[in-house]
Structure 1
Amino acid sequence: MFFASDNWAGAHPLISECLTKEAAGFASAYGTSDLDRSIEARFSDIFETDVAVFYVATGTAANSLALASLARSGGVTFAHSEAHVIEDELGAPDFFSGMRMVEVSGSLGKMNPASLKAQIIRFPQDAIHHGRANSISLTQATEQGTIYDLSEIETLTQIARENGLGVHMDGARFANALVALDATPAEMTWKRGVDVLSFGGTKNGCWCAEAIVFFDPAKAREMSFIRKRAAQLFSKSRFISAQLAAYLDNDLWLDLARHANSMAGRLRDGLAASNTARLAWDSQSNEVFAVIPRHTAKSAENKGAKFYEWPIPKDLGETVHEDETLIRLVTSFATTSDEVDRFLQVLQQD
């Protein structure tokens, strides 16, 4: 009953098989092999436009270097107050970009447009002592398992455009959001005003595959140097390409995300019908948040369930009692219906 994180899951067999095949023989290094070039072309096909693709080791590196590519001296980047770039990356985006992350409020992990406008106004372009507005970063799916619909993305990117700001999307769970919306990659990104995407594969069945995708290759001219300076240039980049070859082939990446989302839906349905637990809020991706008694959480852990207790958001605080706790449950491509049912049964038995 592993629900702590989709990072805990292993790799899909087809991805491992492709890596094994690529392990033999020789290929030119640093992103110049035939396989590397073919995957770059595959990304352009998927996004229905010419893109520039740069591999990095982690989601934190993808976010940090993507934002660095948008940076200007004295710039500030706006993101939701609970976004990964603010809460979980130890200042790496600030360090690599030279900018500051500025919090924007909003319910259920999504930036509120009015709050974004109010924050941007605080940092005019000539504010030499306080910093100038530079870019926004939106997380899709969000850290609370919710998803910006296409109109919400467009509203935020339009605000950015009106103020001359770049737009970054943190897509660590990009596939989960995409299949939940039943949208195309193009519709959820550049057609809605996104400039650069952190494309995540590690959480969805890859060994280690993260990419920075630019929807205007002209804006990627500095990225080769930014990535090299940050020690993120892989010599044997074909091993990232091998993972992505299997990941993208026959839409495996979308099938894996659909399965993870389906298992999360099964969890949500079970929790909604439970007498001992309740959904904290409705989510749409592969993250589920529930309020359960503390003793039930301890009992579930003793019976082998793995999950994280989660900080209680301010707007939820009064609804969680002293003897209760908020937990996060994350499903993955490897989650089974049996695991979900056993966990729900454990909650009911306590």
Structure 2
Amino acid sequence: MNFCSDNATGVSPEIMAAIAAANCGAVMSYGDDEYTQRLQVKFSDLFETSVTVFPVATGSAANALALAVVTPPYGAVYCHAESHINLDECGAPEFFTGGAKLVTVTGNHGKIEAETLGKILDRAGAGVVHHVQPAAVSITQATEAGTVYNPAEISHISEVVRAHNLHLHMDGARFANAVVSLGCSPADVTWRAGVDILSFGATKNGAMAAEAVVFFNRELAKTFPFYRKRSGHLFSKMRFLSAQLEAYITDDLWLKNAAHANNMAARLAEGLAGV
């Protein structure tokens, strides 16, 4: 048995087959291919609303670039103290925002509580020239502690975010696991609950190297292509990222993989409880 993280696993056969199938002939480069164009429609269908989606290769890029779009260099992103963007991205959010500050929020089991967040934002010094200016809140779904936010919890956080004129980002590296655990639709825990931007994970759930930045607030997407290009994540052969994402959400592969992972985790927990 291998108890390493999901990063150590292989690629789903369906996704490997999709990569091979895309390796046929010449297509337009830099995202002007049919695979990438289809993602716009397929992700819009998946989330039951019109979205703008951009493939990138890593979760750190997805998070950092998404936050850069909504956070100026003098801004602040509020996140949980145990969040991946705070502990495990080597300062990427700070770098790509041009120097913005990550402000950590405590909370049980990896989750930010709306009431706590509200109190912090109330005294954050918005409009005061001596302070960094609140710009965004980032939550992780599922969290680094393995817990999940239900739709009501996200809505309460979103209400606080809106009251302070900020934007809400979701790090969804393991978004599929959360959706399966909650038994809800992807829409219920994203835009319907007030999420503006989602880093939609795939690599940890069967893809080779593919994540997607999904904009529910499509006005925010206008500058993202420039951030992506500047960061080196505008792949010339974008079709190979897009083919992975297309296969990932086809026939509910992403949910099937996540259900298996959740079941195995539950089985492990049950076994350990008896030790």
TM-score bin, normalised by smaller chain: over 0.9
Residue in structure 1 matched with residue 24 of structure 2 by the alignment: 24
Q: Aligned ranges for residues 55-204 of structure 1 at < 5 Å?
A: 55-98=55-98, 99-204=100-205
Residue in structure 2 matched with residue 285 of structure 1 by the alignment: none
CA distance in 2, matches of 1:161, 1:189: 15
Q: Aligned ranges for residues 45-64 of structure 1 at < 5 Å?
A: 45-64=45-64
Aligned to 1:167, the other structure's residue is in SS state: strand
Residue in structure 2 matched with residue 15 of structure 1 by the alignment: 15
The code of the aligned residue for 1:29 comes to: S
Question: 1:270 and 2:271 equivalent?
Answer: yes
Which structure 2 segments of 5+ residues have no match?
none
> Displacement, 1:55?
1.2
CA distance in 1, matches of 2:82, 2:104: 8
The code of the aligned residue for 1:235 comes to: S
Which structure 1 segments of 5+ residues have no match?
275-350
After alignment, is 124-133 or 141-150 more displaced? 124-133
Identity fraction in percent: 47
CA distance in 2, matches of 1:191, 1:165: 17
Deviations 1:123-144 (A, max 9, x none): 2221211211111000000000
> Displacement, 1:115?
2.2
Aligned 8 A contact 1:50 1:216 in 2: no
> Displacement, 1:56?
1.2
Residue in structure 1 matched with residue 4 of structure 2 by the alignment: 4
Deviations 1:80-129 (A, max 9, x none): 00000101111110111131110001000001223212221232221211
Aligned to 1:243, the other structure's residue is in SS state: helix
CA distance in 1, matches of 2:136, 2:182: 25
What is the root-mean-square deviation in Å for CA atoms of aligned residues? 1.0
CA distance in 2, matches of 1:6, 1:271: 19
Deviations 1:188-230 (A, max 9, x none): 1000000000001000000001110001222210001111111
Aligned 8 A contact 1:174 1:200 in 2: yes
> Displacement, 1:73?
4.3
> Displacement, 1:3?
1.8
CA distance in 2, matches of 1:168, 1:127: 24
CA distance in 2, matches of 1:35, 1:56: 14
Q: Aligned ranges for residues 194-273 of structure 1 at < 5 Å?
A: 194-273=195-274
The code of the aligned residue for 1:255 comes to: K
After alignment, is 197-206 or 212-221 more displaced? 212-221
- Using the size of structure 1 for normalisation, the TM-score is 0.77
Aligned 8 A contact 1:11 1:206 in 2: yes
> Displacement, 1:261?
0.2
Deviations 1:277-326 (A, max 9, x none): xxxxxxxxxxxxxxxxxxxxxxxxxxxxxxxxxxxxxxxxxxxxxxxxxx
User: Cα distance 1:113–1:217, how it changes in 2: closer, same or farther (>3 A)?
Assistant: closer
The code of the aligned residue for 2:127 comes to: D
Aligned 8 A contact 1:157 1:167 in 2: yes
> Displacement, 1:62?
0.4
Aligned 8 A contact 1:53 1:212 in 2: yes
Residue in structure 2 matched with residue 343 of structure 1 by the alignment: none
Aligned to 1:65, the other structure's residue is in SS state: helix
CA distance in 2, matches of 1:211, 1:113: 27
Residue in structure 2 matched with residue 42 of structure 1 by the alignment: 42
Aligned to 2:145, the other structure's residue is in SS state: coil
Aligned 8 A contact 1:74 1:128 in 2: no
> Displacement, 1:44?
0.6
The code of the aligned residue for 1:131 comes to: V
The structure with the largest alpha-carbon Rg is: 1
Aligned 8 A contact 2:57 2:241 in 1: no
